[in-house]
Structure 1
């Protein structure tokens, strides 16, 4: 029998300190804890209307729609390599984290006209300006403790295309409504990963 060549492994970014390290390599270079002093960081948020109160959450069983007309909760991706997370919906609120990883998925849980309350993959919550978030491409973060096999087809016994390390950000190309796998793009590879191994897609989400 001819030996099969090893599958290429897609590495995650190098490890970093602080909250980043609690997600292993997944959020490397993604967050910087804001220091003391004035919270306003120059050049990271556009000028906007006065701060507004967030939309009042509806009962869990109801479908919530925010001022943007989009459903809540939903996922978005960081659209810049320098984004402030604040304690409230406005620039007068202190900065708690500065995110430095474009494409990182975050979950939008509440919103005002200009601000979005988000939760990151490690559970940190705060507010970001809507201009800093992207909905044009759905992204997800590979989770778990071991490498995930990128499959050629959405079948457990399918041939592996590559091995993807935890912490790699992938682009969601397709997530069938009742499927256990999502088709993703990771680097120069495309294939199927288990939905349960991805942070950035709800169990009932579908991407087509």
Structure 2
């Protein structure tokens, strides 16, 4: 009987430890049931960023870059709380957002490679702030395309993709 109690306690502790691990129990949006946080992009060329999730809330500023990546951190009805790469954010109507994935180049003159390795041929250099379309991602590299150039960039040079995110 004592060993059964010990075994149950051990299994319970193990389950609690696993559930507490990052990525094990992923948070989901109450409206969409999609992962929170997650990355999206601006569908329109202009979006009002509000203090709260309704048209009655004050507009704090306006995003003016189509395809800019944003991170969704909360959902409420037709509204999504978003954050940009500088950590600024607020509430945006969902109709202004897209599931198309983009990234911002964080480092000036980031090299884009023909293959996901540093000794591969460099196909382009992208300036800081360029918005690129996100393609496939491995653990340390992502394939991106911008201004007619396509290649692989180190994931650390990009904002708009999770550190552990894999895409095929």
Fold in common (TM above 0.5): yes
Counterpart of 1:190 in structure 2 is 150
Distance between the aligned counterparts of 1:155 and 1:206, measured in 2? 16
Over the aligned positions, Cα root-mean-square deviation in angstroms equals 1.3
**Alpha-carbon offset, residue 99 of structure 1:** 1.1
**Which portions of structure 1, spanning 4 or more consecutive aligned residues, are displaced by more than 2 angstroms?**
59-62
Q: Kindly tell me: are residues 63 and 124 of structure 1, through their superposed partners in 2, closer, same or farther at Cα, counting changes over 3 Å?
A: same
Counterpart of 1:131 in structure 2 is 95
Q: Which runs of 5+ in 1 are unaligned?
A: 1-58
- Structure 2 counterpart SS, 1:131: helix
- Structure 2 counterpart SS, 1:161: strand
Q: Find out whether 1:115 has 2:79 as its counterpart.
A: yes
Distance between the aligned counterparts of 2:78 and 2:155, measured in 1? 31
Q: Give the alignment partner of residue 69 of structure 1, picking from 19, 27, 33.
A: 33
Counterpart of 1:53 in structure 2 is none
Distance between the aligned counterparts of 1:153 and 1:92, measured in 2? 49
Could you tell me the TM-score, scaled by structure 1's length? Answer: 0.68
Q: Find out whether 1:158 has 2:120 as its counterpart.
A: yes
Q: Give the alignment partner of residue 93 of structure 1, picking from 57, 72, 79.
A: 57
**Alpha-carbon offset, residue 125 of structure 1:** 1.8
Instruction: Give 1 or 2 for the bigger CA radius of gyration.
Output: 2
More strand by share: 2
Larger relative contact order (CA 8 Å, sep ≥ 6): 1
Distance between the aligned counterparts of 2:92 and 2:166, measured in 1? 25
**Alpha-carbon offset, residue 113 of structure 1:** 2.2
Equivalent residues, number: 146
**Alpha-carbon offset, residue 60 of structure 1:** 8.7
**Alpha-carbon offset, residue 200 of structure 1:** 0.1
**Alpha-carbon offset, residue 140 of structure 1:** 0.3
Q: Give the alignment partner of residue 78 of structure 1, picking from 38, 42, 48.
A: 42
**Alpha-carbon offset, residue 186 of structure 1:** 1.2
Distance between the aligned counterparts of 1:202 and 1:84, measured in 2? 25
